[in-house]
Amino acid sequence: MRFLFSLFLLFSVSLVKAQQKVATTNSAAGTVQRPLLVVGIMVDQMRWDYLYRFYDRYAANGGFKRMMNQGFSCENTFIPYTPTITACGHTSVYTGSVPAVHGITGNAWYDYEAGRMMYCSEDKTVKTVGSTSNAGEMSPRNMLTTTICDELRLATNFRSKVIGIAIKDRGGILPAGHSANAAYWYDSRTGDWITSTYYMNELPQWVKTFNGKKHVDAFYEKGWNTLYPVNTYVQSTKDENDYEGKPFGADQKGFPYDFKKFIGKNYGAVSSSPYGNTMTLMMAKEAIANEELGKDVITDFLAVSFSSPDYIGHAFGPNSIEAEDGFLRLDRDLGELFDYLDKTVGKGQYISFLTADHGVAHVPGFSKEHKLPGGAVDDNKLVSDLNKQLKETFGKENIVLGAANYQVSLNNKLIDSAKIDRAAVVQMVMNYARAIKGVDRVFELDELTEQPMNAIVKDRIANGWHPKRSGDIQIIFAPGWIDGGPTGTTHGLWNPYDSHIPLLWYGWGIKPGKSNQEVYMTDIAPTVAALLRIQMPSGCVGKPILAITQ
């Protein structure tokens, strides 16, 4: 009898403690209710229509249907600026701002002060941690504002843990913010996950252990074949097309892809396969476990970005079997992530949002095949041809410094010192660009407000323009046209195929439903801020989404 009483007492105490833990974890600051963990999920190059195009093939226990049916879907979410490019997208989601404010105007831009192209997350003051390459010379210092992760750290007096993870350095670094505990990215030269001295001087043991297992070689051993018989991929075009890229070598023309030749040699090829997503998932789970994210009463934040859909999409296009199979596999990975979070953090104790940094245009060859408008403009040829013509006219070389983010940058210092008529240079550049097939209009950015053009397009260009990090002359392509060559595709414009992105909410405090109200990428951070009851980021221009916060 005494034994039974002791057992009952032990059970009662354990039950009270469990109830207290749930109540306490929902009151991270005493009376302020917050989830234990926020998981921000970026899917690099995910068009909104993928949610429904592949819906019937997503698993019932996978990630997409779970979020769509048990969570809330903002069906009409747009990017409110151009260029719609990876670094801009990741930054804008987490800052609630636009390139005109946060300063990340592209993956790279011509920096007039430095006199060279500047990569978005480069930082020559830090060193690589985790490999001997220079792939770790990165930090968030080029970003001019805070992120929602920074604001969470500030709100908890830096007791919250924030970790960013992505294959791409910019996908892990920029969302996690300036004050993150860590950001990790993949070094394609070594096959290891690395970081920089901005965050730490040595990798944690769990990352070293993860790297030591060389998971990438195990993926290469498997190769890549379709989940289902290839003839069942009726939502995609045929397997082999001349307009598709060959990221695995000219000899690899379609499924199944043999990766054995990459073992121990080429660590970058995995990024162009669904295994890049799976490897990112594995790294995220290790971070949750070893950093004990969501384990105490202080809300933590995991910012994870799945980079492989972008590599796959650029090479094969949105209508390829490769893209479809990649998303079917990503759906399974997301389902595994949520199962893991339910088990380790607790179902209903975390909140997650899923969105994309941009969409993607159809491959021009595909468009031509189906009589759709579109084509490609070679912007490299544009620069070389312009400099040749300008030299013949003005006697100076390299008057055009480059073309990036659909803008032409002029060598204004040279123009001034050589007393060249700048207006004549600008006019020559614009006349040349206007004559290119696929170019819709060209104008000097300083005269944007005077342009007679659609107000939405004008606003999006203005939101992407930063005076110190943008070019001098804006080029707008016609719908369906991209900058590129004869194979593959890209993104970067204002059009819906590039700017209409998914936005799903799931977990703590989220009521199931959907809305077709137009909202924006920049509304995500202030919505998270409202849910967590913390300050929005320092350059935020978005607004909380009432369908989520009410």
| 549 is known as an active-site residue | no
CA-CA-CA-CA torsion sign (46, 51, 52, 54): positive
Q: Which of 84, 86, 145, 280 is catalytic?
A: 86
Residue 136 near residue 194 (C-beta atoms within 8 A): yes
Backbone angles phi, psi at 402, to 5 degrees: 165, 170
State the Cα–Cα distance between residues 95 and 149, nearest whole angstrom.
Answer: 9
Pick from 547, 550, 546, 538: nearest CA to 96: 538
For residue 373, the one-letter residue type is P
Residue 47 near residue 497 (C-beta atoms within 8 A): yes
Quote the Cα angle for 221-243-316, to 5°: 40
Strand ranges in 15-101 using DSSP code E only, listed in sequence order: 37-43, 72-78
Residue 339 near residue 263 (C-beta atoms within 8 A): no
Tokens describing residue 408: 């032409």
Quote the Cα angle for 74-75-78, to 5°: 85
Q: Alpha carbon of 265 to those of 69, 218, 255, 269: distances in Å? A: 43, 13, 22, 10
State the Cα–Cα distance between residues 3 and 316, nearest whole angstrom.
Answer: 68
Cβ neighbours of 107 (radius 10 Å):
18
Q: Alpha carbon of 44 to those of 359, 376, 488: distances in Å? A: 8, 22, 16
3-state secondary structure of 338: helix
Burial of 385 (0-12, 13-18, 19+ CB in 10 A): middle
| Contacts for 340 with CB less than 8 Å, ≥ 6 apart | 285, 288
Quote the Cα angle for 149-185-65, to 5°: 70
**Rama region for 115: left / alpha / beta (φ>0; ψ in -120 to 50; rest):** left
Pick from 546, 549, 539, 550: nearest CA to 148: 539
Tokens describing residue 382: 């544009």
Tokens describing residue 227: 């989940």
For residue 198, the one-letter residue type is Y
Tokens describing residue 299: 């809300």
Place of tokens 């097939």: 437
State the Cα–Cα distance between residues 230 and 325, nearest whole angstrom.
Answer: 10
Residue 84 near residue 490 (C-beta atoms within 8 A): no
Catalytic residue ranges: 86
